[in-house]
Amino acid sequence: MRDLVTEEDVRDRHPIVIVGCGGAGITTINRLHHLQAPRARTIAVDTDRQHLDMVQADSRILIARSLTRGLGAGGSPDIGRRAAEMARSTLEAVLEDAELCFLTVGLGGGTGTGAAPVVAQIAKDRGATVIVVVGYPLNKERESLARAEEGVAALYRVTGSVVVLDNNRLQPRNQVRTHGQAFTAMDQLMAETIKAISEAISEWSLINIDIDDLRAVMSRDGAAVMLVGDTDRGSGARGAARACLSHPLFDIDYHGATGALFHITGGSDLTVQAAEEVVRELMYELDPMADLLWGARAEPGFEGCVRVMAIMTGIRSARFPRTTR
Ligand SMILES: Nc1nc2c(ncn2[C@@H]2O[C@H](COP(=O)(O)OP(=O)(O)OP(=O)(O)O)[C@@H](O)[C@H]2O)c(=O)[nH]1
Ligand SMILES: [Mg+2]
């Protein structure tokens, strides 16, 4: 297993920026802002003035007021894209010193779907590693699905890697019944995941994650699937790993993944040895050649519980072919 990073390494980290585009994206940003992701700037980007007014973020950017009069993109990704282009200089300024940029968006609407690839390109051009986490529409949202398909392809062309969280997959896991409940559960999960990763980089944790290693794992060509499981300590390492592996949030076979990021959260009772055992259990599922990175952290409120999060990256399929970046 890899060396630990030192406390100085952690303190010297460069800024992490978390950007949300469109309604779903800025809702996640609002949650993250309240969860107080460490050392991370939050940026909310939308064409919808009313919605922007309702969220809290370090920067709130209303894009293309003259195009949409602050009323949203009405489901048109073309308007979303043009809106982001019109706000290019503002977006460039807020992304100037970003080293790591998380970009979160619910695909299927106008603003997020159209603007996110523009934002991703701007961050990438400024030298940031861009980690895109997208929500995929419910099967019932037929028009949104077609737009989402285009959106994911456009993002993939820019970044070569997209973490897809399918709203449909949340329902059995969280026993959610309505669209609203599915979306709320997804927003919370996205926010907590981004917070866990950014804390593992920028706060002193049981096992920290090195930012360069994170870059290497997350930049692997292909789709990425996230898996999350919660158990109590009594279930042991195997139980915790099983809980995670049985909850993929995107319907894709992850066994061909070429990279994996694991993160274990427990209470003050979590030890490095216990976390290592969980990681060992998870590793059985991976290609032995896969690039593995993991972190662990004790959080108040997790006493007696373990949360295991895995992001399997570099999964190639017809939809996510090799890129020529
Ligand atoms: N996680 C989450 N997803 C949502 C929420 N609202 C909508 N969605 C999903 O995200 C997709 C895009 O919706 P929005 O983010 O509201 O759309 P937008 O990007 O603001 O686009 P316009 O309103 O057309 O400008 C929808 O098709 C839903 O699948 C939410 O509050 N949370
Ligand atoms: Mg909207």
DSSP annotation string for 252-287: S-GGG-SEEEEEEEE-TT--HHHHHHHHHHHHTTS-
Q: Are 218 and 302 in contact (CB under 8 A)?
A: no
Same domain, 59 and 143: yes
Same domain, 173 and 112: yes
> How much is the pLDDT for 22?
97
Coil, helix or strand for 305? strand
> Residue 117: CB within 6 Å of ligand 1?
no
> Residue 166: CB within 6 Å of ligand 1?
no
> Residue 281: CB within 6 Å of ligand 1?
no
> Which structural domain, as residue segments, surrounds residue 166?
11-202
Ligand 2: centre distance to CA 250 (Å): 24
Residue 126 maps to which CATH number? 3.40.50.1440
> Residue 108: CB within 6 Å of ligand 1?
yes
Ligand 2: centre distance to CA 238 (Å): 42
> How much is the pLDDT for 116?
98
Of the three residues 172, 202, 232, the one that is the final residue of a domain is 202
> Residue 68: CB within 6 Å of ligand 1?
no
Pocket-testing residue among 69, 113, 183, 189, ligand 1, by greatest number of atoms within 8 A of Cβ: 183
Of the three residues 171, 202, 233, the one that is the final residue of a domain is 202
Tokens of 104: 């979160």
Instruction: Indicate if the alpha-carbon torsion angle 214, 17, 129, 28 is positive or negative.
Output: positive
> How much is the pLDDT for 325?
55
Query: What's the rounded Cα separation, in Å, for the pair 244 and 189?
Result: 13
Tokens of 54: 């309702």
> How much is the pLDDT for 3?
42
Same domain, 69 and 156: yes
> How much is the pLDDT for 9?
45
User: What's the domain count of the chain?
Assistant: 2
Name 161's Cβ contacts closer than 8 Å, sequence gap at least 6: 131, 132, 218, 219, 220, 221, 222, 223, 224, 313, 314
Query: What's the rounded Cα separation, in Å, for the pair 81 and 69?
Result: 15
Is 322 a domain residue?
no
Is 48 a domain residue?
yes
Pocket-testing residue among 19, 21, 27, 194, ligand 1, by greatest number of atoms within 8 A of Cβ: 27
Same domain, 26 and 135: yes
User: What are the pLDDT tens digits along the chain (325 aa)?
Assistant: 444 444 554 444 457 899 999 999 999 999 988 887 767 889 999 999 999 999 999 999 999 888 878 788 899 999 999 999 999 999 999 999 898 999 999 999 999 999 999 999 999 999 999 999 999 998 888 899 999 999 999 999 999 888 988 888 875 555 656 777 878 888 888 888 888 888 888 777 888 888 888 888 988 888 888 899 999 888 888 899 999 998 888 888 888 899 999 999 999 989 999 999 999 999 988 888 899 999 999 988 888 899 999 999 998 777 776 665 5
Is 299 a domain residue?
yes
Same domain, 268 and 175: no
> Residue 112: CB within 6 Å of ligand 1?
yes
Same domain, 52 and 130: yes
Query: What's the rounded Cα separation, in Å, for the pair 117 and 84?
Result: 9
> How much is the pLDDT for 173?
52
Is 140 a domain residue?
yes
User: Distance of alpha carbon 115 from its chain centroid, rounded?
Assistant: 17
Tokens of 2: 């890899």
Same domain, 137 and 281: no
Same domain, 182 and 55: yes
Pocket-testing residue among 111, 140, 179, ligand 1, by greatest number of atoms within 8 A of Cβ: 111
> How much is the pLDDT for 5?
45
> Residue 111: CB within 6 Å of ligand 1?
yes
Q: For ligand 1, atom 7, which residue shows the shortest CA distance?
A: 24
> How much is the pLDDT for 11?
44
Give CA separation, 210 vs 10, 133, 205, in Å.
8, 20, 12
Same domain, 119 and 15: yes
Q: For ligand 1, atom 1, which residue shows the shortest CA distance?
A: 183
Same domain, 66 and 107: yes
Q: Closest ligand 1 atom, CA of 25?
A: 15
> How much is the pLDDT for 10?
43
> How much is the pLDDT for 223?
86
Q: For ligand 1, atom 12, which residue shows the shortest CA distance?
A: 109
Same domain, 173 and 273: no
Same domain, 182 and 292: no
> How much is the pLDDT for 154?
95
Q: Cβ atoms within 10 A of the Cβ of 304, count? A: 10
Is 1 a domain residue?
no
Is 323 a domain residue?
no
Residue 227 maps to which CATH number? 3.30.1330.20
